[in-house]
Structure 1
Amino acid sequence: MQLYKFVENINSNTGIEKLLKYIFEKCPKIEKLIIANNLLADRQYAELVSCLEHLQSQEVFENRRGAGPVVLRFLADTRSKLREINLSCDYHPLEDVEYFVKAKRDTLTSATVRWTMAGKRCVVPVLKEAASSLEKLQLRLFDVAPEEEAATFADLGQLHNLRELHCNQLCPHRPRLISLAFQPGCLPLLQKLDLPHATDLPDDAVVTISRGCPSLRHLSLTFATSLTDGALAEIHRLKHLQILDLSGCSGLGGSAVAHVAQLPAPRTLLLQYIDDLTDLQPSLRHVLDLKQLRCLDILYSGHIRAVPFEEFSVRLVNLRELHVTYEEEDEVFYKNVFAEMQSQMPRLRIINTFRWTENDFLTDYETDDDDDDDTDIGY
């Protein structure tokens, strides 16, 4: 069995225990389990889970605040070869986390944890115990003490086997220290790096990433508002980069796309939420140099007339998806433009929408509109 999700509101503890026993007896080969934190905080339930010999992936979600941390030692002592663990909903004693990581250091490939555990103690040094096996890491809620930041980022750079790294809202007191994790030789195998909402991410950090992470295929720097064009000066070093997301990077200017155009073969470029695309002139025309580009996404970006759509059919022959938002008053103009593109590029799929203004929203709250998210290739 690939997945079993247990979410049940039963008032009787005895009833829950019997149900769990029944499920685990009938489904002894469960490989992935998603379970509430209030259950794994209870020793009797943790013991039941520890009997799942085939368990490979364990995700804990917050069902009850204040339930207490997961009983990690029971999970650590299981006979299962646990490969994936998600412990982001609670703080845990660092000693328990260390015990767990040591016990599973030969099999643990994926972890989602908080930057610090109980007592604001950083978890990254503990993860080094599994440095040889850990391939995917997601770190949440950055709250590392200022005096520990330098050591923390240096330790992160010692997880040499990482293929994927996600750090949301990375906000150290000294942003320049972020570069310590990406120095050449630190994360040479890293293929996917996601640093969303790192608003103070400095240019030097991105330059260091370009030098120190030669295997990158996917780089996402969404809403890194402090970045300037200088951050992309050496991005051409990323010879394998296929997906680049610079959405919301409002500090980029006239040479940014020229730097991006030096990449050998990017497949997907995202420039969402750029208020004024004319800010990227004159180098915005260099998007035409991305010969292998298959997806261009400029949803929710303004002044899209700055984009040379009329030359796409000649220059971007491999383009298969275009995501674009335009003002309602420009509907007729862009319908004509896109109709012409479609006739010349029959394999191109154009996903477009209006740019909403405050006049478009109801003020009497009589109607609720649901927005559908577009799911697309490559991201």
Structure 2
Amino acid sequence: MMGSQELPLEIISHILSFLPLSDWKEASLVNRTWYFASQDTHLQRKVVYNLPASSSSLHIIQGLARRCAPCISLNNLDSSNVSRDVIKYISFYLGPHLESLSLRGSCLTDSSFIALIQNCPNLHSLDLSGCNSFFMSGTLLSKQDNVLKVREALNNLRELNLSGIRYLSDLIFNRLISCTPRLEKLLLARCHITFEFDPYRGSRNYNSSSVLSFRNILTFLKERVNCMKALDLSSTGVTTEAVRSLVQVEQLNLRELALQNCKDLSSEAVSILCKWQPNLTSLNLSGCSELSDSAVLAVSSHLQSLQHLYLAKVRRLTDIGLRGIADLKELQSLDMSECSLLNGSELVKGLSSSHLHPKLQSLSFASCCLLKDISVVSLAGSLGAYLRILDLSSCMTLTDISIQAISTHLNRLTILRLAWCKELTDWGLLGIMNPDKELNPNTEKDNGPAFSRNFGNMGFFTPPQYLDEKPRLLTDSDLVKSREKPSPSLKSLQCLQELDLTACSKLTDISITQVSEDHWC
């Protein structure tokens, strides 16, 4: 049989591409061959190097040049001499290879930005989010020769992040966008966009130096209708009429749309959106407090190609809205965290009644306080073959029954979050039968606290029996018995890489040590 040292580097690199970053780093330490295979350019695209604006970064940048690192983050640069040296080193050593560059929150001058960008001709992604001082003067790309330099450098740019820029105006927006002819994804989250106010009063010369208007953004979309695939308008005041105008742009075919925390977004707007953009693969409606069940029903009726759906903090969402989720055959991730009215019953019915239910890989019910063990058991049985990420944090009514179902069916889990699930015990974590929980049909059921009359006319509640009983702790003999008769436990989740048990107050070091030793020791 051919040994690993005899395999071509391309084959080893292909093998490493299936590993998560932590395992990939470990595999690179096997030998010299595996190390060189881990430096493959395609693998390096998975890694983003965050470099501080300090003199210590200069030596690191020189080292990264040997790896041709394509993804760099230079957050919080300023006008200091050290930041200028970092920019020079990035331009000289990494510029020709850079495909993704983040300058988030940086305070750059026009000259520093242009000097950096013109040396990065292969950029596909540029993040300028939070660079407020950079846009404050309004002089960015005001000179034609600078426009030509930037346009040549950003000719292949596919993604531009302008989120959180308070001073972005139509004038600056138009200058910058004119330099990105192949742009496919635009992020304008938290920007001050005017949706109802028309500063132009019918004029088509959208070059205001003081406001960023939705009318101008709409004009841009009409011009780039053939290439624009993703748009982020999260945390803006987008209205129903604005959504209608957006989705009805002729020949616009969006794949990704984010409207997170748009407080004025209505269910009617979502229904219009779903009818006119049926090819969406990702939709983020988290934090849209005005949405109701009808909005989610519209999503499940029209967006048959949807792969990622985010509904966190949609407070008015009930289980009725989830009746059609099982019809989304392509759905891979579903986030319903902090939807306090959900108990998962309708999702369970949909998944159990359909043989072609979604192959969900990520599911979040975090802080859904009505979620019960019976729903988790059913979901685990339906999604066992596909689910990789499960978040049940702060579902405080869940017990060891849920742990047993997860351990039995979800063998491919890589991330499991159970923080603040206070009813979980050592017995459940290790898959051992708790003798205190064994049901005895001859015992009388405890009906809780009883009301009694004592001390004159004052009323007192007699505490329930279980408050006087101390829970039986796990012992070494119990661990020995569990090894003799193994049963499903978290130890059987061999693919698990992240386990969150924060604030699970009934757990002790015994079970946590046993689980961690089996996975990470």
TM bucket (normalised to shorter chain) is 0.7 to 0.9
* Structure 1 residue ranges without an equivalent (≥5): 358-379
SS in 1 for 2:417: strand
Identity %: 20
TM-score of the pair, normalised by structure 1: 0.74
- Does the C-alpha gap of structure 1 residues 22 and 293 become closer, same or farther in structure 2, counting only changes over 3 Å? closer
Structure 1 residue 241: Cα displacement = 1.0
Of residues 479, 494, 500, the one that matches 1:347 is: 494
The Cα of 1:225 is off from its aligned counterpart by 1.3
Match of 1:138 in 2: 232
Distance apart, 1:86 and its partner CA: 1.3
Structure 1 or 2, whichever has the larger Rg, is 2
SS in 2 for 1:140: coil
Residue 72 of structure 1 contacts residue 97 of structure 1 at CA under 8 Å; is this kept in 2? no
Match of 1:89 in 2: 164
**Residue in 1 that maps onto 2:186:** 111
> Counterpart in 2 of 1:24?
91
Instruction: Please state whether the residue corresponding to 2:488 is helix, strand or coil.
Output: helix
Report if the CA contact (8 A) 1:108-1:133 is conserved: yes
Matches within 5 A, 1:354-373: 354-355=502-503
* Structure 2 equivalent of residue 251 of structure 1: 341
- RCO greater where, 1 or 2, for CA within 8 Å and sep 6 or more? 1
Report the equivalent of 2:274.
182
Alignment match, 1:71: 140
Report the Cα offset of residue 67 of structure 1.
Answer: 5.6
Determine whether 1:277 maps to 2:371.
yes
CA contact (8 A) 2:342 2:370 kept: no
How far does the alpha carbon of each residue in 1:74-94 deviate from its partner, in whole angstroms, 9 at most, with x for none?
A: 568521322221111323222
TM-score (norm 2): 0.56
Quick check: 2:387–2:412 contact (8 Å CA) kept in 1?
yes
Who is 2:213 aligned against?
Answer: 121
Question: What is the number of residues matched between the two proteins?
Answer: 345
**For each residue in 1:94-127, what CA deviation from the matched residue of structure 2 results, as whole angstroms up to 9, or x when unmatched?**
244245435534x112221146265362264133
Contact residue 102 and residue 130 of structure 1 kept, 8 A: no
* Residues 138 and 165, structure 1, Cα contact 8 Å, conserved in 2: yes
Question: Structure 1 residues 244, 56: closer, same or farther in 2, change over 3 A?
Answer: closer
Q: Pick from 119, 126, 130: which aligns with 1:62?
A: 130
Contact 1:163 1:192 in 2 (8 A): yes
Task: State how far apart, in whole Å, the 2-side matches of 1:75 and 1:257 are.
Answer: 56
AA aligned opposite 2:164: C
Q: Which residue type is aligned with residue 296 of structure 2? A: V
User: Any idea what the Cα deviations from partners look like across 1:27-52, whole Å, max 9, x if unmatched?
Assistant: 55144333366655x44334434533
1:187, 1:209 → 2: CA distance?
9
List alignment gaps of at least 5 residues for structure 2.
1-67, 195-209, 433-481, 506-521
Q: Which residue of 2 aligns with 1:51?
A: 118
Matched, 1:267 2:361: yes
What are the superposed Cα offsets for residues 321-375 of structure 1, whole Å, 9 maximum, x if unpaired?
A: 5432465565234234378323894536483514368xxxxxxxxxxxxxxxxxx
Distance 1:16 1:215, change over 3 A: same
Return the alpha-carbon distance in structure 2 between the equivalents of residues 251 and 75 of structure 1: 52
> Alignment partner for residue 243 of structure 2, among 149, 152, 157?
152
The separation in 2 between residues aligned to 1:23 and 1:312, in whole angstroms, is 47
Which is strand-richer, 1 or 2?
A: 1
Letter in 1 for 2:273: A
Of Structure 1 and Structure 2, which has the larger fraction of its residues in helix? Answer: 2
For the structure 1 residues 317 and 171, does the alpha-carbon distance in structure 2 shift closer, same or farther, using more than 3 Å as the test?
closer
C-alpha distance 194-347 of structure 1, shift in aligned 2 (>3 A):
same
- CA–CA distance in 2 between the matches of 1:20 and 1:330? 51
**Cα–Cα, structure 1 residues 31 and 273, in superposed 2: closer, same or farther, change >3 Å?**
same
